[in-house]
Chains A and B, each alone.
Chain A
């Protein structure tokens, strides 16, 4: 089945530093979603990317979808302690059906030291 590899598994940063997590697939993706899960919380949808080469921004967060639609990244500029949590990518396989058959990456756990 489809696998979505996410790196790094852990990232520790000082407050104010930047952070990036990467998501890679061996197969072409129809679209990719990003979720954030705070410690002790549940995953919350952040954004969906659909188009090849797409770039979207949400305040300090920048999301990119690769030209080949096989990879994606989430970049946070000037991290804050509120950014702490696990960031997941989740993807649909190209040609797949709907009904939310997302494949999740294993997540990147971000800790931010004040």
Chain B
């Protein structure tokens, strides 16, 4: 149990489908993240939310749309994805203090996405 829960754990979707990934953190953290993990590539930061405000969008295609309704929940809405978007999508949270680098990330177990 990591304190960060992701659902679904596995998702198979066609290129025309719309689906969403969900993340919930039970750690009381004030920042949440989406990362993409592809084979043989470093972890890629996609989005960062701090206090429910998006503070980072790492040039992610618009077919990925994040939503952070409150500090405990984070969604990644998926629409018209491509096969190359197949990957493990990891949610993480951290407790950030203004002016102090912390950034210890607590990851969820990930959602394994396959786009057909």
Contact = CB atoms under 8 A, between A and B. Distances in A.
A65 interface: no
Contact of A98 (B102, B105, B107, B108): B102
Interface stretch (B13-21, B66-74, B79-87, B89-97): B89-97
A23 to B, nearest CB: 11
A30 B101 CA distance: 9
Given A31-B101, A43-B43, A107-B42, A100 B33 contact: yes
B31 A48 contact: no
Contacts, number: 69
A101 B48 contact: yes
Contacts of B2: 42, 44
Interface in A8-44: 30-31, 33, 35, 41-44
B73 to A, nearest CB: 18
Nearest to B93: A100
B50 interface: yes
Contacts of B40: 106
Given A98-B101, A99-B31, A100-B31, A105 B42 contact: yes
A106 B41 CA distance: 6
6 contacts: A42-B108, A43-B105, A98-B102, A99-B31, A100-B94, A104-B43
Interface of B: 2, 31, 33, 40-43, 45, 48, 50, 55-56, 90, 92, 94, 96-110
Given A100-B94, A107-B42, 14 more contacts: A42-B90, A42-B108, A42-B109, A43-B90, A45-B105, A90-B43, A99-B55, A99-B56, A100-B45, A100-B96, A101-B48, A102-B45, A102-B105, A104-B42
